[in-house]
């Protein structure tokens, strides 16, 4: 804790310890399981592939036949395509085989068509000529080379991606045990706000952009979102709406009114009607972020985001998203970052962590990150132009061109155009 508030690291600790996965799991069909968190491990009931099969179109034979007479001729006896049962391999012969077909018993190599120097048919049937140099690759996909029977293929808590669903399908599963979807209500607060479709009621009104931003940020997560609309800067109205929503939701996300001003009510509401986990955090942008629970002793979390759109997105990504992933039954992982050379210089106040909007550039074949010049927390354009966030630690006071800085790509924070 310093004059700016609690540290980023402390806030993350409090959030990690303050929130647990919601109770309840359900069986979810694979087609609906994308992005859900597994609630039980998936163990392979059989090996994948379940039989040795050919990786190419060609001729299955034994390696001793292949290597016995380089350049010699071998008879082709039998044929097997994908989905068929393999015929027995006759001694000294090859079997015509196609990709995915089971390898005949005794065939330990498949000579791919491209490696066969000659082939034809005579009175005795089909033949092939063997290459002078036998290829090393067997071209056979071995039973269990992807997954072995009994392996834990997918672990509890993992968020299912398309390739995980494909693995489950390949193991013959059509549904998975997943943590239930998390219920989230989103509110905007501010007397100045109006809906995008509403006419300007006063010259000082502005359009609410935070709600659509938040609902977009929530899209990829396994949550059901309730749109709580716009609330006025009125303590009773906000209290009533939040207490009521806290009965039906696991988490409330509000934006605006989180500061200490006369028109800011969120912190006082959390103190009076619930419990405050923390208020004010030593970061920029987003310092007024406050988190608590509603009602007192109640299980519903409430993340009161600041009002400025850039602060909303930064605070959502850095604090609300990990909380949501935890509620959904996932792990508590730091978002992936990489270090990259700064293509800018700046000085910074010590004592708070900053999240600057950064643009990746390729300079002389090396990656560098530029800083979007206008870093005002109301400038949404900075988020549109940026590729991610440059994270500068509390003790940094100066960044010079060429220094390594930590970069969090938006793609590692779940933001990508679909
Ligand atoms: P506040 O945290 O309520 O003091 O708001 C800080 C700034 O963010 C003010 O300029 C607000 O007008 C603006 N703001 C608050 N809520 C929203 C919103 N939902 N959409 C766009 N701007 C907002
Ligand atoms: Mg306000």
- Strand, coil or helix: 187: strand
Q: Which residue has the tokens 């949501």?
A: 324
Task: Return the number of other C-beta atoms located less than 10 Å from residue 383's C-beta.
Answer: 18
Residues 286-317 have pLDDT tens digits of: 999 999 999 998 889 999 999 999 999 999 99
User: Residue 418: pLDDT above 80?
Assistant: no
Distance CA 221, CA 238 (A): 26
pLDDT score of 385: 95
Distance CA 253, CA 184 (A): 7
Burial class (CB in 10 A: 0-12, 13-18, 19+), 249: buried
The residue-averaged pLDDT of 364-376 equals 93
What's 115's DSSP letter? G
- Strand ranges, E, within 247-352: 251-255, 275-279, 283-284, 290-294, 300-305, 338-342, 346-347
The residue-averaged pLDDT of 2-24 equals 96
The residue-averaged pLDDT of 44-57 equals 97
Ligand 1: residue whose CA is nearest its atom 14 = 307
Confidence of residue 395 (pLDDT cuts 50, 70, 90): very high
Find the 280 Cα to ligand 1 centroid distance in Å: 17
pLDDT score of 48: 96
pLDDT score of 298: 85
Using CB distances shorter than 6 Å, the residues near ligand 1 are: 188, 190, 192-193, 206, 208-210, 255-259, 306-309
Residue 285: is the preceding peptide bond cis (ω within 30°)?
yes
Distance CA 237, CA 358 (A): 39
> What is the phi/psi pair of residue 50, to 5°?
-90, -5
Residues 309-348 have pLDDT tens digits of: 999 999 999 999 999 999 999 999 999 999 999 999 999 9
Question: Tokens standing for 149?
Answer: 């029977």
The residue-averaged pLDDT of 266-285 equals 97
Mean pLDDT estimate for the chain: 96
The residue-averaged pLDDT of 386-396 equals 98
Question: Tokens standing for 171?
Answer: 């193991």
Rounded to two decimals, what is the model's pTM? 0.94
pLDDT score of 179: 98
Q: State what percent of residues in the chain have pLDDT above 70.
A: 100
For residue 256, the ligand 1 atom closest to its alpha carbon is: 3
pLDDT score of 416: 84
The residue-averaged pLDDT of 204-208 equals 97
Question: Tokens standing for 193?
Answer: 């706000």
For residue 209, the ligand 1 atom closest to its alpha carbon is: 20
């Amino acid at each position: 804790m310093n004059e700016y508030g609690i540290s980023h690291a402390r806030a993350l600790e409090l959030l990690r310890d303050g929130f647990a996965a919601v109770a309840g799991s359900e069986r979810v069909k694979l087609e609906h399981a994308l992005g859900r968190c597994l609630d039980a491990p998936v163990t392979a009931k059989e090996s994948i592939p379940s039989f040795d099969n050919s990786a190419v179109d060609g001729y299955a034979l034994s390696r001793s036949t292949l290597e016995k007479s380089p350049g010699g001729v071998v008879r082709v006896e039998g044929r097997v395509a994908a989905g068929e049962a393999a015929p027995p391999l006759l001694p000294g012969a090859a079997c015509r085989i196609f990709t995915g077909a089971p390898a005949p018993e005794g065939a330990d190599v498949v000579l791919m068509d491209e490696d066969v120097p000659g082939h034809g048919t005579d009175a005795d049937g089909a033949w092939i000529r063997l290459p002078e140099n036998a290829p090393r690759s067997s071209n056979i996909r071995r039973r269990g080379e992807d997954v072995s029977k009994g392996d834990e293929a997918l672990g509890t808590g993992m968020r299912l991606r398309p390739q995980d669903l494909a693995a489950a399908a390949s193991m013959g599963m059509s549904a998975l045990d997943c943590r239930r979807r998390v219920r989230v209500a989103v509110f905007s607060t501010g007397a100045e706000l109006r809906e995008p479709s509403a006419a300007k009621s006063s010259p000082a009104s502005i359009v609410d952009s935070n709600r659509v931003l938040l609902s977009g940020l929530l899209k990829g997560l396994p949550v059901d979102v309730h749109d709580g609309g716009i609330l006025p800067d009125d303590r009773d109205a906000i209290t009533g709406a939040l207490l009521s929503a806290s009965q039906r939701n696991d988490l409330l996300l509000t934006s605006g009114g989180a500061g200490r001003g006369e028109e800011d009510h969120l912190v006082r509401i959390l103190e009076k009607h619930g419990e405050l986990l923390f208020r004010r955090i030593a970061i920029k942008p987003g310092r007024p972020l406050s988190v608590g629970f509603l009602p007192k002793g109640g299980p519903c979390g409430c993340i009161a985001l600041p009002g400025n759109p850039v602060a909303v997105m930064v605070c959502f990504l850095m604090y609300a998203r990990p909380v949501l992933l935890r509620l959904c039954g996932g792990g508590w992982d730091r978002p992936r970052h990489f270090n990259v050379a700064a293509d800018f210089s700046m000085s910074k106040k010590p004592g708070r962590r900053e999240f600057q909007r950064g643009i990746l550039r390729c300079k002389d074949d090396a990656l560098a990150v530029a800083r979007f010049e206008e870093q005002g927390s109301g400038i949404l354009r900075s988020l549109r132009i940026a590729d991610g966030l440059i994270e500068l630690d509390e003790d940094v006071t100066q960044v010079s061109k060429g220094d390594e800085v930590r970069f969090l790509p938006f793609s590692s924070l779940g933001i990508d155009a679909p």
